[in-house]
Amino acid sequence: MKEKIETIPVNEAFRSEDECPFCYLERQAQQRAIRYIAGPGASYMEPLIRGKTDSRGFCGTHLKQLFDYGNSLGDALILQTYLVGMRKELDAQIAEFSAPPKKSLLGGKGEGENTLVQWEKEREESCFLCESIEESMARYFATFFFLIKDPEFRALVADGKGFCMRHFARLLEEAKSQLPNSQHDWFYATLLPLMQENLSRLQEDIDWFIQKFDYRNSGADWKNSRDAVSRVMQKLRGIYPADPPFKEK
């Protein structure tokens, strides 16, 4: 199958021998998005982009990544205009705020839902970077279901290490609408055992990692277990705990 712009990164991820090719793609998308926002192109100075960061804000994970990336003046400019808008909204919330009644002596809690609480909950779920990473991920999943019509790509998937649990569940979810009928049997017959086999491989790695702490095994080979802890963590939650903070080189 001919390589297209979208298929190149997906093929590369599946050749990377990562514990999960979608984690690999997600990390790339994260770094691309951070660099786009805070990197040399300084897109945070473009009114259109700043309008978006002002309205969407950032989740805690991405604020930390922006901080680690190290463009502190860029961060300050983004935060400055964001704060102006947020404070305006908070002022409006406070103007409308009504305190719940005092707790009753019978032990009941004060009743009534505050819109301020609701407002903050919505803000916590909103993140400009999560949104742009999700756009890339949706494209990568679509590309996966396009590529599996190719026997060469199917072989790559079957010989791979499977997926992390988070992306495995998403693949199954996306399959409901995107899986070509021609690949229906192959997909389920391949992916489910692939996950079991690879989790069993990781079980062996973590078992051996622990056994290596027994003095009788101190001279024995680490086999594949040296980084077992971080790989199991990735398999479980789709994270790279051993990654250093992403910074501009």
By the criterion CB under 5 A, which residues form the site for Zn ion?
20, 22-23, 59, 62, 127, 129-130, 164, 167, 238
- Compare residues 129 and 148 and give the one whose CB is closer to Zn ion: 129
Contacting residues for 18 by C-beta, under 8 A, at least 6 apart: 24, 161
Cβ 163 to Zn ion shortest distance, Å? 6
- Compare residues 130 and 172 and give the one whose CB is closer to Zn ion: 130
Do 145 and 6 contact (CB within 8 A), yes or no? Answer: no
- Compare residues 19 and 205 and give the one whose CB is closer to Zn ion: 19
Do 65 and 30 contact (CB within 8 A), yes or no? Answer: yes
If we measure between CA atoms, which residue out of 180, 179, 225 comes closest to residue 201? 225
- Compare residues 114 and 230 and give the one whose CB is closer to Zn ion: 230
- Distance separating alpha carbons of residues 63 and 59, to the nearest angstrom: 6
- Compare residues 126 and 217 and give the one whose CB is closer to Zn ion: 126
- Distance separating alpha carbons of residues 241 and 246, to the nearest angstrom: 12
If we measure between CA atoms, which residue out of 8, 32, 60, 21 comes closest to residue 136? 32
